[in-house]
A and B are shown apart, each in its own frame.
Chain A
Amino acid sequence: MSDKGTLAIYWAASCGGCEIGILALNEKILDVAAAFDIVFCPCIMDTKARDVEHMPDGHIDVCLFNGGIRTSEQEYMARLLRQKSKVLVAFGSCAHEGCIPGLANVTNRQSIFETVYLDSPSTDNPGRTLPLPEVQHNGFHLALPVFYDTVRTLGQTVKVDYYLPGCPPEADRVWDAVVAILEGTLPAPGSVIGAQTTVCDECTRTRSEKKIKAFKRTWQVWPEESQCLLEQGLICCGPATRAGCQSRCPTVNSPCIGCYGPNAGVEDQGARLITALASVIDSNDAEEVERIVREGVPDPVGTFYRFSLAHSLLRRAALVPDEERHELPLPRAAQ
């Protein structure tokens, strides 16, 4: 093996977009390959968990871990990669704050299974078969990972050294992080590698004092091109979302949906958005305010916590306690 560093890239409960995000580095990917040996990345090479199990602890210099933790297998891999990696990076919104899969925290395993395996109109399941973690079949013992009730973030599962926000992280920000790793200019462990301000900072639209009489959904308006989208009644999450994307969505006339997560130091992005929007609703009449919210925000969780529910102060809808998780033992360290 060379004296290059070692890099692992792994995916858990995610969509694959983060791998694309890495590929979006374009030719700079060659610089990454020049600096690192990629020792584990199931997306692009034939490497198995077994290979990682056999690595000595701390063998991996940097592990970019995307996806949240939804199953026991993902939790196992998170613990394994933590053990084997010097620097573990929660890469992208899912690992950072649960992202879209985390929205399923408003429900639980049973109703997810019912929807997916029984109730969806395109499902044909006359035997009403549901996945089980273990079955005996013809004398064979078959096992599947356990599907948890709750999506957890990587940071809620293992100790994370750095977070790279975004759905997916912007290539330029990924490159900034790579440079920081290579040059040893990383911030204090535990921090998010990113800006200290919000999307509005990078947005070129003109803003004035806000007074909102009605919230509108994107299909209801053809937004004016230069004025702040929020002032036009569209719920733009920009004011409460960390900068880093060069205001991609607002630039193309579409409101920010919040994928870069909360600003530095903010505990709960959704709560920030809610207080901010509540304070600019242009009415003091309780009934009118109620109507504005009811008509304009049909899906509050999906609007304000689209990416951050699992990571927020809310985390999930209340659960009956004994439905909760099955712990797996930690892998023994390799000799």
Chain B
Amino acid sequence: MAEKVGVYVCDCGSNIAATVDVEHVAQWAGGLPEVAITREYKFLCSSLGQAMIAEDIKTEGLTRIVVAACSPHLHEKTFRRACERAGLNPYLLQMANIREHVSWVTKDRVAATSKVKALVAAAVARVQYHQPLEPMAVAVNPHTLVVGGGIAGIQAALELGDAGYPVYLVEREPSIGGHMAQYDKTFPTLDCAACILTPKMSDVGQHDKIQLLTYSELEEVSGSIGNFKVRIRKKARYVDDATCNGCGLCIEKCPRKVVDDGFEAGMGYRKSIYTPFPQAVPKIPVIDRGSCIWFERGRCRACEKLCPTKAINFDQKDEILEVEVGNIILATGWDMFDCRRMPQYGYGRLANVFTSLEFERMCNASGPTGGRVVLRDGVTEPKSVCIVHCVGSRDKHYNSYCSGICCMLSLKLGHLVLEKTAAKVYACYIDMRPNKKDYEEFYWRLLEEGMLFVRGKVAEVTDVARTPQEEDQLIVQVEDTLLGKQRRIPVDMVVLMGAMEPRRDARETGLKAGISCSMAGWFIERHPKLDPIATMTEGVFIAGACQGPKDIPDSVGQGAAAAARIEGMISRGTVMIEPVVATVQEERCSGCRICNSLCPFNAIDFLETEKVSKINPVLCKGCGTCVAGCPAEAISGAHFSRDQINAEIAGLLCDADGRESGAELAFAPAQAE
């Protein structure tokens, strides 16, 4: 194997050069086997640096390139392109990460330089086993599936639809709108939520490019980027959506009233046939089988008798739709922390402890109290309200993360109380974090409006009085850390800022689409900074609060960003996918089927007639799980072959400072005959 390897060591300004003796490394690397040329350069990623590599490839006839610089996440593409421009297959490049893995994690120049040598030796040993690879082109179906019709999903669907690309928008509830539809006002500008949301909702409902599938669930996803096949369960509404004109007569006449735990957050009632709220899109109601008198006792059918368009159909069944799409956006949002999990705050036990969602419904003009802020008795206006921050968040017993929106939410709710009542408003906070555009200003506004801020995490909310003044009150026990003393604040009403939590079924939903969740349960993005909307599964994107706690502007931004990414692919028509995939060598495969259940991307099929397993290269992400799992070593991973990995380990273990190392013997790959 006679290769001509070029080794390039980057200073990264002083990022690397300050800690690593780059000149020495470059000179030393010249003595490694097969190395023809070595250079050290200030910024290899600059156009001059790239041009230098390309020039060397042409003039020196280099056949392999090693770049010792930053993380391949950042610049592997850059240097691959440089190779390509010089006519060298881009996969004949190997990067050694000497910045994130070395210079940024130590100040010890000697140790750093020695580690860099080992990493360079590993890369030089490995790159000699690299094979030229060609990316695969896949045609992109212009349809997109959006799962979840909250503000993030709505935005994504509208962006795509407006760009002229067809969308299926799947929403599990009878109407789109998500959580935002429940609110009265939205921070920080206090626009009415309905005023800004409902126009978007009706745009979706009327859009000729958007096929809206409400009261529907994602069943199964197969295929891969460009060509997914999706099965969707359209749950039986018992109302024919083609004939219903949304007049609402059925709702009016339905004799059964039940507590609405969904949209009204348990604060109000709905009928057994219902739309969640008046501005629902679509306007078509659903019959809740669980509470409907006909389904319960086999009598009634009032809705059917009175429906002017004969749209009620008690025999309707769930329907399974199959659609084909090129890309998928998950925008399934969040769930509220169950405040009962913190019994010390009394929710569910003490009547006048409310959750933020309940309070939102109470403030809403079209909500259960018509927008009046009252105690549970439905009439008494509170004289004092305490808002408790960080309920189930910033607490390692529940969720260690900051839920992000609650400080602003507290300010919004405080403002609404001050606006609607004469009550005193306290907020007990750990830290105030109104950290975005116009948020700090909103905080100042509330300070001026007279909201009272107590810095401390609430220990307890109790109705056990210690003094006559505390009788018949809720007492908020909190250590005021600014005053340095314990306080007992008697109030009429307490509002808990429950944390935004991942959807309870996020893991299952993620699994269907082939993406995973973080420890906390949020969908994992491809890169936390540089690619927050893509996922490790090509063609599956995430937007909104399903990726982590988020306010409305961020959710909208992500919805639009995901749509833009997809529009780019559709307009180009094809996507190139990485050829770094695993393949089964059929003659070595005995069809034992060990690998069949291992693939996180469902890329492995078992061919019954041939009795061998086969990997779909379009689905495969090259993760290597099956390569490791195959007991016969019938599966090999391109760009991560055993030869390459063994050579890399041997290189890594070769003692860069000259002593002899036994490791080479044990790991050196068998020489080709």
Contacts and interface: CB of A to CB of B under 8 A. Distances in A.
B191 interface: no
B632 A263 contact: yes
Contacts of A313: 666
Contacts of B606: 209
A240 B593 contact: no
A80 interface: no
Contact of B631 (A188, A201, A272): A272
A197 interface: yes
A239 B633 contact: no
Interface string B602-630: 00001000010000000000000100111
B590 interface: yes
A275 B627 CA distance: 10
A265 interface: yes
A210 B593 contact: yes
B587 A196 contact: yes
Nearest to A202: B590
A272 B634 CA distance: 11
A66 interface: no
Nearest to B666: A313
B666 to A, nearest CB: 8
A273 interface: yes
Contacts of B673: 188
Contact of A200 (B592, B596, B598): B592
Nearest to B646: A267
Interface string A162-201: 0000000000000000000000000010000000111111
Given A197-B587, A207-B591, A276 B630 contact: yes
Contacts of B611: 201
A178 to B, nearest CB: 24
Contact of B596 (A210, A238, A264, A265): A210
Nearest to B673: A188
Nearest to B636: A265
B596 A198 contact: no
Contact of A198 (B590, B625, B628, B629): B590
Contacts of A275: 628-629, 631
A104 B596 CA distance: 36
A279 interface: yes
A200 B590 contact: yes
Nearest to B627: A275
A280 B630 CA distance: 11
Interface in A261-300: 263-266, 272-273, 275-276, 279-280
Given A197-B589, A263-B588, A279-B625, A272 B596 contact: no
Interface in A228-271: 228, 230, 238-240, 243, 263-266
A197 B632 CA distance: 7
B598 to A, nearest CB: 5
Which of A230, A240, A273 neighbours the largest number of chain B CB atoms within 10 Å of its CB?
Answer: A240
Nearest to B585: A196
B592 A211 contact: no
Which of A188, A200, A211, A238 neighbours the largest number of chain B CB atoms within 10 Å of its CB?
Answer: A200
Given A239-B632, A276-B629, A198 B592 contact: yes
A273 B631 contact: yes
A201 B591 contact: yes
Which of B590, B625, B634 neighbours the largest number of chain A CB atoms within 10 Å of its CB?
Answer: B590
Contact of B590 (A201, A265, A280): A201
A208 B593 CA distance: 6
A200 B596 CA distance: 15
Contact of A210 (B588, B594, B666): B594
Contacts of B594: 210, 239, 276, 279-280
B590 A243 contact: yes
Nearest to A196: B588
Nearest to B586: A197
Given A209-B593, A243-B590, A197 B634 contact: yes
Nearest to A313: B666
7 contacts: A207-B592, A208-B593, A210-B594, A210-B596, A240-B631, A263-B631, A280-B594
Which 6 A-B pairs give the minimum distances between C-beta atoms? A240-B631, A201-B590, A200-B590, A239-B592, A276-B631, A239-B631
Given A197-B634, A201-B591, 18 more contacts: A196-B587, A196-B588, A200-B592, A201-B611, A207-B592, A207-B593, A210-B597, A238-B592, A239-B590, A239-B594, A239-B632, A243-B590, A263-B632, A272-B631, A275-B628, A276-B592, A276-B629, A279-B598
